[in-house]
Amino acid sequence: MARVRRNIWSLAQPWDPVLLWYARGVQALKARPFPDVTSWRYLAAIHGIEEEIWREFGWLKPDEQLPRTAEFMNEDQGQCQHHGWYFIPWHRGYLAAFEAIVRAAIAKMPGGPKDWALPYWDYNSKVGANPRALPEAFAKNTWPDGGDNPLFDKRRYGRGDGVVVIREQDVDLKPALTDGQFEGVTNGSPGFGGVRTPFQHNADRDHEGWLEQVPHDVVHGRVGGSKAGQDPRDWRFAGLMSMPETAGLDPIFWLHHANIDRLWEVWLKRDKNHKNPALSSWLNGPAGRHKFILPQPDGTRKRFAPKDMLDTSAPGLDYVYENTSDPSAGQQRLNVRLKTLSVLIPGFDGFAGPEVSSVAKKPTVELLGANAKAITLSDAPTSTTIRVDKPTARKVINSFRLNEFAARSVPEPDRVFLNLENITSDNDAAVFDVYVGLPEGADPAAHPENRAGVVSMFGARAATNMAKPHGGAGMTKVLEITDTIDQLHLSDNADLSKLSVLFVPVSAVGEGGISIKRVSIYRQSS
Amino acid sequence: MRQWLQARGFGSLGLFLWSVSLGAWLLIVGGDRLHVALPQLCGGPSEPQGLYALEFTIQTIGWPALSGGAALMVVAMMAPALAGPLLHLWYRSLSRHRWRAILLFITGYVAIWTIACLLLILTAYVLHGSTGSEIAASLVVASAGLAWQLSPARARCLARCHLRPRLSIFGAAAFTDPLLFGLTLACWCVATCWALMLLPLCLPGAHLPLMAGGALLVAIERTTQRKSKPSGLANRWA
């Protein structure tokens, strides 16, 4: 029978046996030497490693060297997949390998259960007073066995003073769960799972999927944070969870990713049209450097491909989640939009087109407008204005016309996406909100309807570093602003030739800490 | 098969660029005037030296053939490496301006490379004259090229080949940005690959095989993924 991964909030707080055994397992793994493929550090280095940072943070002693094995140097270290369509399946395999190794360590302990399964941190849970708070077992350096708590780490700065504050909008599941496509398109909707990529360890080229962007990235930044009173652009003051090179060292990382993995199951089960890619290049991927490979409890290593990660109850994985119910109660992006439009457009009563999640045709995506010059963000709100190209804007306006719509048999008018292009930053922990179409001088907090989304800089430092493969170009973030454009377009007093964009820091950015080469908008026609 | 090709960087654009490269190769092998004249022009120390050599070359085969041959050499060797920049121009330009942006980019890119090729031809002449033989000149270039190929400075130049600039879409900048992109990228490409271009010019007898080898190296370098090292990468190479 498949093991059950349980919601941490449905466990007894703070030290349910599941968490206590996890802490003991973590302690056992931390005691193993680095070259042991089942050690805590080896497993964390598979996600990412940078020697200088590990030394500074004390994870490598002054006289200690990195493992010199060919396996570590050539294949094992630095495998985590980000900003692309392998993010979800790679992390599932990674999590399963980690869980099996911890379980094996626990099983060897006196009284240790043989069926231990990793719990997940459901920050949207209906159970628990504040599901977005860091669970107590991780927040305090005390535990029932005495001595240092293996689940605690002082490099978890949160808002700066060690308190983790996650807002409701930081873990908003709507963009991820309501998008019907797994695979995204460049500059348009990045889809649930991201755009097509080769093996991609560093955040260098393509667009991450909705799930990777929120809640994944934002939770990393909000938990890790950077130390208050210090320069947030200096990695020496960043939290473990803030950087891909150190995130796997934090025990909460694994519960966060168990929830991300669970949300893949939620997305698949909430709509019969939600499907994984059927392309061989995804199923048998990745293309590029080498196949994914991970250690096993017996010290061997095993290769895997996304096709091995499709069924969690299959023998290789053998787990299910306690709860994969749909938090959005079947709500679909297209249905919500059409309902809004039916209120805004007189005589509009929906279209008889196909469901968007069943549209197989690749959509057309084209540039609609851009701002005049590169901008830098600091700790105060920063604004810029996008000038819209008139001929392309006419296509968007025409897409709202009922006759055009019916003639083309498309399911909906154009969608519009805000692109923050080639973002460079040395501050991985920064998080900021983005607003579009706010009236001049308006308080953004009073206009949640203009909030396009929240952006985390998780991985930005590597994408900015020219010494990294393909580094230096930064990364591009995409936010959907279709709802705002619908409202603006259909209101009589809106000027669609220009669109204001406001960036409001949520955490410390630092003076000129983030640079955005171009802020643009794209239309996506289905 | 299509998926297999795409997974290895041979999508429709990749195949198109390889076809363009192949076309240039066929023209070269078929005998464009510069490449036919090379063995004669780079014949050794008895030939004219320095600027006189260039003048002699121009008089012999003419400016159009000289610069055309150089441009053909660039297309043959560099076209497959341009998929990334071309996609950047395509996605980041207004749809009605995409081809214009690409044309401006190619103009800048080929212009810089053509000038660089002419300078490399001149350098090859100078090396022939000063060393006294093709072999000696080739050894000098091979040694210097190998040192350059392994140097951090060259890695920095290569990293800059992967940068993607901001592209403005309104006003004069909508014209100058793609052009400047082509000019700048070509400068970094020249700095990265000059040795691969110079070596075939120094050894006219083995010009084509060496050129093909250089092209293969460029293609491998641009299409295979470098591996991130865990050590010593915390400092920016800005």
Of A66, A387, A426, the CB nearest to B231: A66
Does pLDDT of B237 surpass 60? no
Nearest CB to B230; choose among A78, A391, A520: A78
Does the pLDDT at position B6 exceed 70? no
Burial of residue A121, with CB atoms counted within 10 A of its CB: 0-12 exposed, 13-18 middle, 19 or more buried = buried
Tokens at A290, concatenated:
């080498």
What SS3 class is residue A521?
A: strand
Q: Tokens in use for B33? A: 């005037």
| CA-derived radius of gyration, chain B | 19
- Inter-chain residue contact B163 with A472, CB threshold 8 Å: yes
Mutate to test the interface with A, among B2, B90, B92, B98 (most CBs of A within 10 A): B92
Nearest to B205, CA basis, from B11, B7, B42, B74: B42
- Distance, CA of A453 to CA of A523 (rounded, Å): 18
In whole angstroms, give the CA distance from residue A105 to residue B119: 66
User: β-pairing, A475-480 with A375-377?
Assistant: unpaired
Cβ–Cβ < 8 Å for A245, A50 = yes
pLDDT for res B54: 64
**A487 vs B116: CA distance, rounded Å:** 54
Q: Is A363 on the interface with B (CB under 8 A)?
A: no
B167 touching A (Cβ < 8 Å): yes
Going by the DSSP 8-state scheme, the letter that residue A480 receives in this structure is: E
φ/ψ (deg, to 5) at A315: -50, -40
Q: How confident is the model at residue B233 (pLDDT cuts 50, 70, 90)?
A: very low
CA distance A525 to A354: 14
SS3 A320: strand
Segment 223-252 of chain A within 8 Å of chain B by CB: 235
| Cβ atoms of A44 and A98 closer than 8 Å | no
Residues in chain B with CB shorter than 8 Å from the CB of A388 are none
B170: left (phi over 0), alpha (psi -120 to 50) or beta: beta
pLDDT computed for residue B45 by the predictor: 45
**C-beta atoms surrounding B144 within 10 Å:** 14
Give me the pLDDT at residue B215, please. 85
Residue B120 DSSP SS3: helix
- Please, where are the H alpha helices in B83-172? 83-91, 98-131, 134-149, 152-161
pLDDT of residue A200: 76
Q: What is the 8-class DSSP label of residue A422? A: E
Residue A296 touches partner B, C-beta closer than 8 Å: no
d(Cα A234, Cα A56) in Å, to the nearest integer?
Answer: 12
ipTM, two decimals, is: 0.90
Cross-strand bridge partners of residue A477? A420
More confident residue, A178 or B225: A178
Q: Residues B146-164: pLDDT tens digits?
A: 999 899 999 899 889 988 9
Q: How far is Cα A468 from Cα B225, in angstroms, rounded to an integer?
A: 11
The pLDDT, as a whole number, for residue A92 is 98
Give the three-class secondary structure for B238: coil
User: Do B32 and B72 meet the contact criterion of CB atoms below 8 Å apart?
Assistant: yes
Q: Hey, how many other C-beta atoms are within 10 angstroms of the C-beta on A216?
A: 25
Distances, alpha carbon A174 to alpha carbons A78, A270, A477, in Å: 31, 12, 17
Secondary structure string (H, E, C) spanning B141-159 = HHHHHHHHHCCHHHHHHHH
DSSP A322: S
Amino acid B235: pLDDT: 36
Contact B86, B98 (CB under 8 A): no
- A353's tokens: 């087109």
Q: What is the rounded distance in angstroms from the CA atom of residue B18 to the CA atom of residue A190?
A: 29
Identity at A21, one-letter amino acid code: W
CA distance A31 to B141: 54
Pairing of strands A451-456, A514-525: unpaired
Measure in Å the smallest separation between the Cα of B229 and chain A Cα atoms.
8
Inform me whether the C-beta atom of residue A524 falls under 8 Å from chain B C-beta atoms.
no
Q: Is the pTM of this model over 0.90?
A: yes
Q: Quick one: closest CA in A to B159, which residue?
A: A466
- Given A186, A470, A517, which is nearest B162 (Cβ)? A470
8 Å CB contact between A399 and A444: no
Read out DSSP for B24-67? HHHHHHH--HHHHHHHHHT--TTS--HHHHHHHHHHHH-HHHHH
Residues 6+ apart with CB under 8 A from A365: A185, A186, A187, A188, A522, A523, A524, A525, B91
Angle between helices B83-91 and B173-202 (to 10 degrees): 170
Residue B12 structure tokens? 């429709």
Contacts of B165 in chain A (CB under 8 A): 517
pLDDT tens, per residue, chain A with 526 residues: 899 999 999 999 999 999 999 999 999 999 999 999 999 999 999 999 999 999 999 999 999 999 999 999 999 998 888 888 999 999 999 999 999 999 999 999 999 999 999 999 999 999 988 999 999 999 999 999 999 999 999 999 999 999 999 999 999 999 999 999 999 999 999 999 999 887 777 645 568 999 999 999 999 999 999 999 999 999 999 999 999 999 999 999 999 999 999 999 999 999 999 999 999 989 998 876 678 999 999 999 999 999 999 999 998 899 999 999 999 888 888 888 888 887 766 666 555 444 444 445 678 999 999 999 999 999 999 999 999 999 999 888 888 776 566 666 666 889 999 999 999 999 999 999 999 999 888 999 999 989 999 999 999 998 898 877 667 889 999 999 999 888 877 776 566 789 999 999 999 999 989 999 999 999 999 7
Taking CA atoms, A108 is separated from A94, A147, A149, A386, B110, in Å, by 22, 21, 20, 61, 66
A232 touches A194 (CB < 8 A): no
Query: Which residues, other chains included, contact A298 with Cβ-Cβ below 8 Å and sequence gap of 6+?
Result: none
Residue A92 CA to residue A300 CA, distance in Å, equals 19
| Minimum-distance CB partner of A77 among B225, B230, B236 | B230
* Contacting A residues, span 251-290, partner chain B, CB-CB under 8 Å: 279-281, 285, 287-289
CA distance A176 to A211: 5
Cα separation, A172 vs A216, whole angstroms: 10
Q: What would the two tokens of residue A457 be?
A: 């800089």
Total residue count of chain A as it appears in this document: 526
CA distance A462 to A203: 7
| Closest to A65 measured CA to CA, from B17, B18, B230 | B230
Distance separating alpha carbons of residues A422 and A460, to the nearest angstrom: 10
